[in-house]
């Protein structure tokens, strides 16, 4: 039996004898990101794979996160229930929201401390947990909270396994923050995660996303007699509706090139 190690951010790095497909999007109706990972054993012998997920939780205020270290490095707090990692920094003191990072599969380990997962003086380019092949089951208390799952898979020739990772944001009514002393109310998270437990549910959610954008953008078209503009017409559709910054430089060029004599239209 041969073994290999992978880790997902949601990107996966696998040996040549395995095939991996990553399918990622955000839900239309829920505050979450969905990462569907499908791994296939393309060889003629059984393979064992150790997969690690990894995300680093923010501390809810980007500017404060990167400047006020004296305070922030003392606030990190998490809960772990099965394959669900809850980020509850400052929830007890002054917040009514938390994040959850979960997978629809039993796990063989986890980490919630960045230092424990990466190792001293290391970066995400070479985490110690991956080098050693085992998570440390660390519980973050201050410092830098993360979410990482370890999943050991054994695949027969031609067999594939699909995993659904969900990173979600949940809120509770201020009067219903806890289900027990210092235990967060997980009902919103349960309701959210139960919607994305199977490939079929993920496929349905992605179909809704497609329909959502089709409804928004299918009414807008671009026609031009200028041969230089025609190839780019498809990119102007989302800009016309939402001002997509990705294409803003091109749109600025159009405005300048075709502006009236006395300024922009």
Q: Is the CB of residue 32 less than 8 Å from the CB of residue 166?
A: yes
Give CA–CA dist 103/178, Å, rounded. 23
Please work out, in degrees rounded to the nearest 5, the angle formed at the alpha carbon of residue 48 by the alpha carbons of 44 and 54. 130
Query: What is this structure's pTM?
Result: 0.80
CB atoms within 10 A of CB 88: 21
User: In sequence order, which ranges of the chain are alpha helices (DSSP H)?
Assistant: 62-65, 69-72, 114-118, 128-132, 187-193, 199-217, 233-242, 248-257
Report the pLDDT value the prediction gives residue 236, as an integer from 0 to 100.
Answer: 52
C-alpha closest to that of 51 among 123, 118, 105: 105
pLDDT of res. 257: 34
With contact defined as beta carbons under 8 Å apart, do 33 and 193 qualify? no
Specify the pLDDT at position 221. 66
pLDDT at 222: 65
CA torsion 163-164-167-171 (nearest 10°) is -130
* Residue 217: per-residue pLDDT: 73
pLDDT at 4: 42
Residue 95 is predicted with a pLDDT of 93
Separation of alpha carbons 215 and 59, rounded Å: 35
Going from the first residue of the chain to its last (265 residues), give the mean pLDDT of each consecutive group of 10, the final group possibly shorter.
Answer: 42 55 90 94 89 92 86 91 96 93 97 95 91 94 94 93 96 93 94 96 94 79 67 50 43 37 40
pLDDT at 204: 96
pLDDT at 70: 87
């Amino acid at each position: 039996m041969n073994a290999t190690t992978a880790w997902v951010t949601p990107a996966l790095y696998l040996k040549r004898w395995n095939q991996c497909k990553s399918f990622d999007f955000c839900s239309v109706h829920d505050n979450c990101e969905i990462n569907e990972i499908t791994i296939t054993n393309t060889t003629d012998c059984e393979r064992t794979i150790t997969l690690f997920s990894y995300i680093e939780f923010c501390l809810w205020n980007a500017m404060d996160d990167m400047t006020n270290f004296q305070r922030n490095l003392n606030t990190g707090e998490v809960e772990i229930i099965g394959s669900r990692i809850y980020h509850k920094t400052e929830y007890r003191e002054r917040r009514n929201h938390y994040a959850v990072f979960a997978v629809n599969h039993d796990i063989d380990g986890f980490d919630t401390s960045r230092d424990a997962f990466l190792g001293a003086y290391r970066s995400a380019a070479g985490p110690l947990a991956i080098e050693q092949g085992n998570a440390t089951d660390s519980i973050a208390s201050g410092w830098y909270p993360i979410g990482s799952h370890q999943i050991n898979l054994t695949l027969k020739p031609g067999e594939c396994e699909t995993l659904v990772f969900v990173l979600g944001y949940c809120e509770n009514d201020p009067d219903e923050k806890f289900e027990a002393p210092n235990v967060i109310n997980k009902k919103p998270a349960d309701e959210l995660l139960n919607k994305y437990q199977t490939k079929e549910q993920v496929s349905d959610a992605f179909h809704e996303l497609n329909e959502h954008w089709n409804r928004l953008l299918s009414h807008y078209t671009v026609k031009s007699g200028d041969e230089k503009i025609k190839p780019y017409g498809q990119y102007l559709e989302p800009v016309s509706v939402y001002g997509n910054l990705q294409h803003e430089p091109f749109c600025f060029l159009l405005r300048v090139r075709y502006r009236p004599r006395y300024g922009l239209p």
